[in-house]
Amino acid sequence: DTGVSQDPRHKITKRGQNVTFRCDPISEHNRLYWYRQTLGQGPEFLTYFQNEAQLEKSRLLSDRFSAERPKGSFSTLEIQRTEQGDSAMYLCASSPKPFTQETQYFGPGTRLLVL
């Protein structure tokens, strides 16, 4: 297993454009998380899935943001009508179903720059 992968690694877009990021978790990991990290800050929780069900969304996730995990495997995060304030690193993590310990494994992130 190669770990959590994210695509693309870098994205530059103009304000007002839509962007979509993909995350492939570790196989058989039931939970998948999205975070956003800006310079000098810790990752901020956005949302998480248990299989295909989106269980929680942060208030940070405005109506311009939408996330899906249609078959309980990979996930996509879409940002519509991007704003300069959306510039950040978007991180994805996965973890096994938490009956006992739950350990998150992070992908390398997608760095977004909105011009």
Partner 1 sequence: GIQVEQSPPDLILQEGANSTLRCNFSDSVNNLQWFHQNPWGQLINLFYIPSGTKQNGRLSATTVATERYSLLYISSSQTTDSGVYFCAAGNQFYFGTGTSLTVIP
Radius of gyration, CA atoms only, the chain: 14
The strand pair at 10-13 and 110-114 is best described as parallel
87 residue type, one letter:
S
82 residue type, one letter:
T
Number of helical (H) and strand (E) elements in the chain, helices listed first: 0, 11
Return the residue of 56, 62, 97, 113 that touches partner 1, per CB under 8 A: 56
Q: Should residue 54 be labelled a site residue for partner 1 when binding is judged by CB under 8 A?
A: no
Q: Should residue 96 be labelled a site residue for partner 1 when binding is judged by CB under 8 A?
A: no
Return the residue of 23, 77, 79, 91 that touches partner 1, per CB under 8 A: 91
Q: Should residue 45 be labelled a site residue for partner 1 when binding is judged by CB under 8 A?
A: yes
Q: Should residue 74 be labelled a site residue for partner 1 when binding is judged by CB under 8 A?
A: no
Number of alpha carbons in the 13 Å side-chain half-sphere of residue 63: 0
Return the residue of 30, 54, 87, 106 that touches partner 1, per CB under 8 A: 106
Contact residues for partner 1, defined by CB under 8 A: 33, 35, 40-45, 48, 56, 58, 89, 91, 93, 98, 101-106, 108-109, 111
